[in-house]
Amino acid sequence: MRWTGMPMAMWVLFAKSFEKQLTEVFGYDAKTAKAIRKTAKLRYKEIIAKLPEFEKGDRFQLNIIGCAMLGAFVLCMPRRPDTESLTVYYEKAQMTPLMKWFCRKSGKNKFTPKDISGMKATATLKAADRNPYSWNMEFYEYPDGSGYEGRFTKCGICVLMKKLGLYDLTPALCRLDYTMSEAGGVTDFVRQYTLASGGPYCDCGYKKKRLQEDRA
């Protein structure tokens, strides 16, 4: 994957936030946090350079870029974090004002014909059959009309975290699905399994908030 383009743009947008949370979550002083960020940039570029280009129509490029960035920072920290603290760190680093705006905007399009069509196209693409750092997904609409589920049988984040020697920390990234759904304002996120915790698949279920409230 080329550094110029989306990977570089994501670094510009989020690197300072990742640096800030090194101090707020892990207690590193400002000088150390800055040094970690500088070293992490080099590691991030190395990780990106070893990733394949994603196919046109593959919607998961940003997911793997976010994983690469987090992995780079973790590998450059003086102390290896535990999963619980890294979960907090990743959520705070990712949920910038811009990201919250993006989630709200995406929420407005949830369950529209375009959204449903995009989910079905992703399920058909099965990009992970050709790119191990992408995802394979099956799509299920709930029969009661309350929403839908994406069921993932292959996960690029799991593959990359194993490659980086950080697989035990993968659940820290999984938790962001709940946070982004909440920020969108229109769905309740439901999940039973994750591949990272030994499940048969990762289920990402989105229930319509309004429908649930009307039934209450």
Domain ranges of the chain: 6-215
Distance CA 105, CA 102 (A): 5
Beta-bridge partners for 188: 207
pLDDT at 114 (0 to 100): 95
pTM confidence score = 0.93
Q: How confident is the model at residue 211 (pLDDT cuts 50, 70, 90)?
A: very low
Give the tens place of pLDDT for each residue, 76-100: 999 999 999 999 999 999 999 999 9
State the angle between helix axes of 176-184 and 83-94 in degrees (0 to 180), rounded to the nearest 10. Answer: 30
State the sign of the Cα–Cα–Cα–Cα dihedral 138, 128, 73, 101.
negative
Q: What residues does 178 pair with on adjacent strands? A: none
